[in-house]
Amino acid sequence: MIYARKLMLPSELAEIEFIKLEKRTCFHTFYPFKIFPDKGLREVSFDTITMFYGGNGSGKSTLLNLIARKMGAVRYSEFNDAPFFDTFADMCYLEYAKRPRASFVLTSDDVFDYALSARAVNEGIDDKRNQLLDKYVSVHGQVMQGDPEVSRLHGLDDYERWREVREILSPKKTQSSYVKKRVAQDIDLCSNGETAMRYFLDRIEEDAVYLLDEPENSLSIEYQIELAAYVAATARAGNCQFIIATHSPVFLSMQGAKIYDLDAYPASVSKWTDLPNVRKYFDFFMEHREEFD
């Protein structure tokens, strides 16, 4: 599905005129001005899956963030833009083929926050478990010492305490079964790669535009392949459009993806096998091919 059709960036002349008229002198940079004229890039047209490839500082994340701003995309982590970012975004034009139900930005920061939240929940569960273990041991200790207060009912206000003590002292209630019944089950904390994969599977739904910023971060090659296949299937069957900033050969190799090489001049659509980063991978493995025999 194609929702966003193309993004028009300001002309070089329009950028020059703005900078010339800008009277404030306290800024050392006009970012994101001056990036795309130096790449000869004025227009980006989108397919169902579009990739932005390039090294650090190539502008791939900047493009993604500009599209997100024009779409009003939902973000799950804070975006620290520059003083002139909104001005530059206002000078851009985003053309739609059809308005999406929603649009979302998914970044490596989101994955990191997701993992931290899961760990925080588990730490809370661990604290509760320890409290229950202490209570279980304490009640049994009081019984061993013959403390009559341990199970005495003083009124309705003590009913919950009395019931809990009875449960602890039940012959059928072991320490582990008591704790297991009363504490929530742990969130299934996996490796970073498994947690990252779960995050994307939880977030990506149907009928929407997804802007993914380097989704390969924290993913092993196995999970990159799995996520790439999921993205392709969701784009095909789930009426989704994906715009992805990446330098992962796995994502770049997705069949039918439109790839912009932002390291080239002029920045232009390229085959994934012609990208310098991919060629380096290829050359490296070719040098060691005899070791695979």
Please tell me the class of the 4-110+192-292 domain.
Answer: alpha beta
Residue ranges per structural domain of the chain: 4-110+192-292, 111-182
Q: What letters, b where the CB count within 10 A reaches 16 and e where it falls short, cover 234-260? A: bbeeebbbbbbbbbbbbbbebeebebb
Question: CA nearest 60: which of 286, 213, 237, 252?
Answer: 213
Q: Which residues contact 115 (CB under 8 A, 6 or more apart)?
A: 192, 195, 196, 199
Q: What is the mean pLDDT of each run of 10 residues along the chain (293 residues)?
A: 95 89 72 90 96 91 94 87 90 95 90 65 49 55 54 52 55 51 47 77 91 90 93 93 95 95 93 94 93 87
**pLDDT for the residue 289:** 92
Which CA distances in Å does 177 have to 133, 170, 193, 231?
11, 11, 32, 42
pTM of the full predicted structure?
Answer: 0.75
With residues binned 3-state (H G I as helix, E B as strand, rest as coil), the percentages for the chain, rounded to 5, are 50, 15, 35
Query: Which amino acid belongs to residue 26?
Result: C
* Cα-only R_g, the chain: 28
Q: Answer for the pair 245, 232: CB distance below 8 angstroms, yes or no.
A: no
Question: CA nearest 218: which of 195, 239, 243, 245?
Answer: 195
**pLDDT for the residue 92:** 96
C-alpha angle 40/45/47, rounded to 5°?
Answer: 140
Which CA distances in Å does 243 have to 64, 67, 93, 199, 253?
7, 9, 17, 18, 14
**pLDDT for the residue 116:** 65
Q: Answer for the pair 209, 239: CB distance below 8 angstroms, yes or no.
A: no
Report the distance separating Cα 267 and Cα 53, nearest Å. Answer: 10
Report the distance separating Cα 53 and Cα 37, nearest Å. Answer: 17
Q: Answer for the pair 6, 43: CB distance below 8 angstroms, yes or no.
A: yes
